[in-house]
Each structure stands twice: as C-alpha cells, then as structure tokens.
Amino acid sequence: MNAMTENKGSTLVAKPDQVVIPPTVAMKGEDVSVFYGAKQALFGVNLEIERNRVTSLIGPSGCGKSTFLRSLNRMNDTIDICRVTGRITLDGEDIYDKNLDVVELRARVGMVFQKPNPFPKSIFENVAYGPKIHGMVSTKAETEEIVVSSLRKAGLFEEVKDRLNEPGTGLSGGQQQRLCIARAIATKPEVLLMDEPCSALDPIATAIIEELIDELRENFTIVIVTHSMQQAARVSQKTAFFHLGKLIEEGVTEDIFTNPVNKQTQDYIMGRIG
Amino acid sequence: MVGYLFLTILVFSIAAFFVGRSAGNRFVATNGVSTHSLPGYHGAFVAVWVGVPALVLLLLWLMAQGSVIDNMLLSTLPATLTEAASAADKNLLLSEIKNVAAGRIFAEPTPEITAAAETLLRWQQIASWLMVVVVVAAMLLAMFFAYSRLAPRFRARNGVEAFTSGIMIACSIAAILTTIGIIASLIYESIEFFKLVPVHEFLFGLRWEPQIAIRADQVAGNGAFGAVPVFVGTIVIATIAMLVATPIGIFTAIYLTEYASDRVRNIIKPIMEILAGVPTVVYGFFAVLTVAPAIRGAGNLMGLATSPNSAIAAGGVMGIMIIPFISSLADDAIRAVPRSMRDGSLAMGATRAETMTKVLLPAALPGIMGGILLALSRAIGETMIVVMAAGLIATLNINPLDSVTTVTVQIVTLLIGDTSFDNPKTLAAFALGLVLFLVTLGLNVVALTIVRKYREQYD
Ligand SMILES: Nc1ncnc2c1ncn2[C@@H]1O[C@H](COP(=O)(O)OP(=O)(O)OP(=O)(O)O)[C@@H](O)[C@H]1O
Ligand SMILES: [Mg+2]
C-alpha cells in the first residue's frame, strides 16, 4: 500500500522540495449542507479526508464540526429533523445513495464519542459487540483473539487483562474512552471518526490517547474534532477550520497553524474568537 | 348555626387578610424595599392567625359539647333513675330524652323525662351561643395579637412558610395514621380469626368451605378454612394475566420508543391511557358477557370442556387491564437508557433491533422488572373483574378452562349477606386480607427497590 510508505515521512515534516506522493482520498464531501429543521447548520462544505492521515476539525463551539462528523457515517439519520444535501463519498461511493446499507456503512466508518459510552456489559462483551453482530467471528477463540488485539491496539489490554469479565462502566474515564476506541476498531473500520475524544479526560489520559491516535493512523483513516489547538497540531496532518457552519480554511496542519491564509482562521488560532 | 359560624370564620379571615395586607402596603410605602415581607405575606399571616385557631377551637368545641351536656344532664336527673343504671341503660335514657326534645314522642314520657328534655333544649341553646361568643372572641384576640406583631422588619413571610409546612406535615401524618389504623385492624381481626382456626390450617389446609351457620336456625356445613385452593386460584388468574400483559406491554413499549413515528405515538399513547382509565367494573362485564362466552364457544368447538366462568376469561381481561402499567413503566425504563448507549450501538453498525435486544433491553431490564412486579401486585389485588367473571367455589385445580376463585372474591363473598363479626366466616376475610396485603406490600417493596437501584445507575 503506497499510502503506508508515504506515511513514514508525514506531511508534517515533509520539506517542500521533497517529492510527496499524493495521498489517496478515503472520503470526500462535496457541497455538503446540513439542516436541522429550518435551521441550516452547514453551508456547502467541500473537504477531502485522506487515507491513513489524521484530519482534525477545529472551530468555535456550534460551528458545525460534530454535524459534519456525524454526516460522514450518517449518524445524523438518528435525528428526525436532520436533512443532508450534497454528496459524500466513501471510496468514490455515494454514502447517501438509496441502495446503500447504512448498517454496513457504519461498520466501515466507526465512531468514538465525546463522552465515553461503554455499554453496561463486561469489558470483553463491549469489544466483542461489533465483531459479533457483523458475523466477523464464529468461534470463541476468534472472538477472544479480536478482543485482545483490539484492546492491545487501544493500549488498554495490560490494564484490564485480569478483569475482562467485569463491567466496562467500572473503568476510569480514560480507560472507558480507550475501551470505546477498542470497541470501535474491533470491527476494523476503514475510517474512524472521533468527536472530542479527550474532552472528558485528564492530561495523562489525553497523552495516552494522542499517542494511540498516532499509532492507529497506520491502519486507519482518522477524523478528529478537537477544541485544543495543541492537540490538533500534535496529532493531525491535515486541519480544517469551521466557522458559523462554513469551512473557512483547510490544509496541511503545519501551514494552518504557522501561516493561515484567512483572517478568521488566524484570529481563532490566536485565541481571538471562539 | 354551626354552618354560619364556619362562614363567619371564613369572612373574618378574608377581612383579616385585607387588613394585614393594607398594613403591609403601608410599610412598603414608608420603608420601601427594606420591608422584610411582601404585603401579601402580612395579609396571609394575619388571616392564618385569625382563621386557623378559631377553626380548631370550633372543631374541638363541637366534639366535646355533646358528651359534656350528656353528663350534666345525667347529673340533674333524679337519683332513682340513674342510681342503679348500667352504661347501656344510661344511653337509652339519654336517647329517650333526646327523642322527646326533638319532638319524636312514641309513648307518653314521664314528667322527669319531659323536664330533662326541656333542660337539654335550653342548654343546647346556651351552648351554641356560648360557642359563637368564644369563637368570635378568639378571632378578635388573634387578630389583635397578629396585627400588633406586624412591623416593617417583621418576618411575616417566614411565619406563613412555617404555617404552610405545618399543614403539609399534618396532611402526611393523616395519611400515615390511616395506614397504621388499617394495618392494625387487619392484624387485630386476623388474630381473632386465628384464635378460632389455627394458622397452619388456614395456610396449608386444602379445603375452603366457609359457609357456616351464623344463626342457630340456619342450616349449613361445619366449615373448613384451608386457604390453599383460594391462593392457587389467585395464582392461576394472576399468571394468566401476566402472560397476557407482559409480552404485549413490553412490545408496545419497544414499538413506541424505538419504531413508532411521532404521529403514531400521539395516537397510541392516549389510547393506552384510556385503557388505564376504564373502570374495572366495565372490564368485569366485558369479561362475563363477551370474553367468557367466546372462550367457551371456542373451547366447545375444539371439544374441550370449558366452564362458563373460566379462569382464562377473567385472567385474560385482567391482563388487558394491566397492559398500560407494564408498557408505561417499560417505556420509561427504555427511555431512561442514555441516548449515548443507543448512538454507540448504532454507530457500531448495529440495526435498531440489535440495539434494542442487545443494549437497550438489558440496560432497561431492572426497570422493566419493577414494572412487571407492580403490575403483578395489581393483578393479585384486583377485585371487580374476578368477582364478576371468576368462580365462587374454591376447587383445587390449575386448569385455566375451569372455574377458580381468588382471595379478593372470597373476601367479598364472606362479607356480604348476614354477617356478625365474631364468627370465623367473617373473620376469615380479614385473614385473607392480611395475606393479600403482605404479598402485595412485599411485591411493591421489591419492585420499587429494583426500580430505584436502577435509576441510580445513570444519574
Ligand atoms: N439535534 C439538533 N437539533 C437542532 N439543532 C442542532 C442539533 N445538533 C446541532 N444543532 C445545531 O447545529 C449547529 C452546529 O452544531 P454542532 O453540534 O455541529 O456544533 P459543534 O461545532 O460540534 O459545537 P461544539 O464544539 O460545541 O461541540 C449548532 O448551531 C447547533 O445548535
Ligand atoms: Mg460537537
């Protein structure tokens, strides 16, 4: 996979004179507008999500970051009054197509929520949930293997290996969030959407998850919403700045943070709006 | 007279309110915002002081007046009449005097009685005027006292607050005392019963034939008070009811929370509420006149011997009656599962049915269990439907097509007709009632504990 080799020298450190192989596009939004009833929350957003990169969405509260994120795996469908126009593709396929199976889409585009939301089941069952409902496993051994490897990837296995049968709700906040990440990656999604995954966590747990995101990039395409500029700068290769429902500026993270083209972006990054 | 007095108290209180409020208005006009309480509170404070003590006084007076006059009257009667009289005789004497005083003369009264009747009338006259004077004086005194306390910095608001909480405490104490009274009478009468019929015979006996002779001239059996057939009948009917209500109730709740559109929900919910509001007597004749014959017809078609008042008819209709209990509690329980659980599951690519069975129902299970137990205790205590649709004869069987009887039906039949409260037939009703009370109390406690425990999980 050429994207993998390309990843080794991430864009963050790529010198302008280096030959950069153009990354492939995993998801693409074209002229995406979202309405909640009569209220328009997103205005004609065009954004490409590149494979095996971390794309961060930043912007002041209420600007539509979560809305955009949720339209990428059609979680907006669960809100009765929500309507999406424009075109969003996954590997070139329109995900709002009538014939597309939403359930399958969500298996391919996983999601981690702002607040950890483990199911009131055991740690093991939490992680095994996705693989079981998607028929990815048929024997207990297979299930165990996938649970252990997901927990390992989420950096949680060592902490919970002795209590896999205890309820997931009994973990600390940071552990719960990593459990949710393990749960999401157990179904082997192509894209992982994360909506402020660290907002409920302390700096240590945040550092663990940021490290994790960096590792996960090898196998997944990640979109992360964050309110922390430092976090966006640390974990992402691409950054998109939203304001009042519009995509104001997008580009290589380093460029956005050191050399924003747009005045609003500049103001936001300097902490003058938001 | 008394009616007018109540009216007077009301009028005085209202007048006191306005007097107090105008004082309050004056304070506000002169002192502005540094006045402690709003004028209305000053008014309410005076009104409460005028109205409540007078009311209490009046009620106490009315309670005491009768017996005080009676005693005074007895002491005026010539010693020949009262000397050797027992309490019952004295009562007879008093009621004769009262009858004469009220003009209900059946036989020519003796001169002593006539004289006493006149005295009674006179005293009653005096007492009621005295009562008016005392009550009005109390109101004026209270008015003076309360009004004199009003001042710009007077905490009328806190006074009214204290009074309000006092009223609320009084109300809740009334409810508690009533409950205690009911329990005490149940226990007392049951103990009387168990003196006549041993506890073990009642709890474990297999024959229930309570129709014994109450008067010497009646012809009846010797009676047997083994309640097992009655308990079994209750269990059969309650089981049938739960078998009907549980699945329907839970599926209704699932449909309403997860699948129904707002429009459909807005139609179904009120209908469920109507179901909950139908008087049980209506369910009763629905069971007798519609369901029971239909079941009998169906049974006959299939060649099954079906009793005209089959357990399945009564139980089935009772089940329909308790559907709203289960569905509304299950609905609450499913809704109480945080939205994030549902979203988490859907975002994993689960279908709505998978989300429901694998995440929402397990999480809501304690709440749903609580609902089922509450419905069960309702089913066990339900009376009207079974009185109308279930049988009377206590036969020990569990065939749903046969007729069975329940605890509540037996309580009703034991207590109608000729009754006297010192024989086992009547007292048995209290023993049954006690068992019923303990069982439903137990179920409610368990149910509420489960529901509460589960609420804590998410909040
Ligand atoms: N379920 C909803 N119903 C109606 N309006 C909504 C709903 N969800 C979001 N909105 C509106 O859409 C706009 C964008 O909301 P969104 O949640 O996408 O913001 P956000 O950028 O994620 O904000 P935050 O940083 O605070 O999470 C807001 O104005 C919000 O009020
Ligand atoms: Mg958001």
Are residues B358 and A133, on separate chains, in Cβ contact within 8 Å? Answer: yes
Cβ atoms of B39 and B18 closer than 8 Å: no
What integer pLDDT is reported at residue A15 of this predicted model? 47
Predicted interface score ipTM higher than 0.95: no
CATH 1.20.210.10 fits B209-458, yes or no: no
The Cβ of residue A200 has, within 10 Å, a number of other Cβ atoms equal to 16
DSSP B255: I
Supply the residue whose CA is at minimum distance from atom 16 of ligand 1: A64
What mean pLDDT is reported for chain B? 87
Alpha carbon distance B369, B373 (integer Å): 6
CB contact (8 A) between residue B363 and residue A129: no
Residue type, B71: N
pLDDT, one tens digit per residue, over B172-202 is: 999 999 999 999 999 999 999 998 888 888 9
Angle between helices A173-186 and B339-347 (to 10 degrees): 30
Question: Which of A76, A103, A187 is the best mutation test for B, with the most CBs of B within 10 A?
Answer: A103
Q: What is the pLDDT of residue A86?
A: 94
CA neighbor of A118 nearest in space, from A178, A37, A76: A178
CB contact under 8 A, B349 and A129: no
What mean pLDDT is reported for chain A? Answer: 88
Residue A45, ligand 1, Cβ within 6 A: no
Residue A197 tokens read as 């995954």
Q: Are B393 and B405 in contact (CB under 8 A)?
A: yes
- Write out pLDDT tens, residues A60-87: 999 999 999 999 999 999 888 999 999 9
| Six token digits for residue A9 | 């020298």
Per the structure block, which two tokens stand in for B443? Answer: 């179920």
* Of A86-90, A172-176, A203-207, highest mean pLDDT: A86-90
The stretch B110-115 carries a mean pLDDT of: 82
Q: What's the pLDDT score for residue B258?
A: 87
> Hunting for tokens 């009948």 — which residue is that?
B233
Work out the angle at residue B189's Cα, subtended by the Cα atoms of residues B184 and B193, and round it to the nearest 5 degrees: 145
Interchain contact A142–B (C-beta under 8 A): no
Q: Are A240 and A230 within 8 A, CB to CB?
A: no
Q: Name the token pair of B310.
A: 């089959």
B165 C-beta neighbours (distance < 10 Å), count: 10
Q: Is the pLDDT of residue B418 over 80?
A: no
Amino acid residing at B389: A
Contact status, residue A31 vs residue A86, Cβ threshold 8 Å: yes
Q: What is the CATH number of domain A21-121+193-269?
A: 3.40.50.300
Rg of chain A, C-alpha, whole Å? 19
Q: Which residue has the tokens 């004749």?
A: B285
Classify B278 as helix, strand or coil: coil
What is the DSSP code string of A123-189? HHHHHHHHHHHTT---SHHHHHHHHHHHHHHTT-HHHHGGGTTSBGGGS-HHHHHHHHHHHHHHT--
Write down the pLDDT at residue B190.
92
- Which is more confidently placed, B49 or A9? B49
Portion of chain A with pLDDT greater than 70, in percent: 91
| Domain definitions of chain A by residue range | 21-121+193-269
Q: Given pLDDT bands bounded at 50, 70 and 90, which one contains residue A14?
A: very low
pLDDT range class, residue B87, cuts 50, 70, 90? confident
Kindly report the protein residue whose alpha carbon is nearest to atom 2 of ligand 1. A36
Helix (H) or strand (E) holding B315, with range, is: helix B311-336
Q: Is A115 on the interface with B (CB under 8 A)?
A: yes
Question: CA B14, CA B451: separation in Å to the nearest integer?
Answer: 46
Size of chain A, expressed as the number of residues it contains: 274
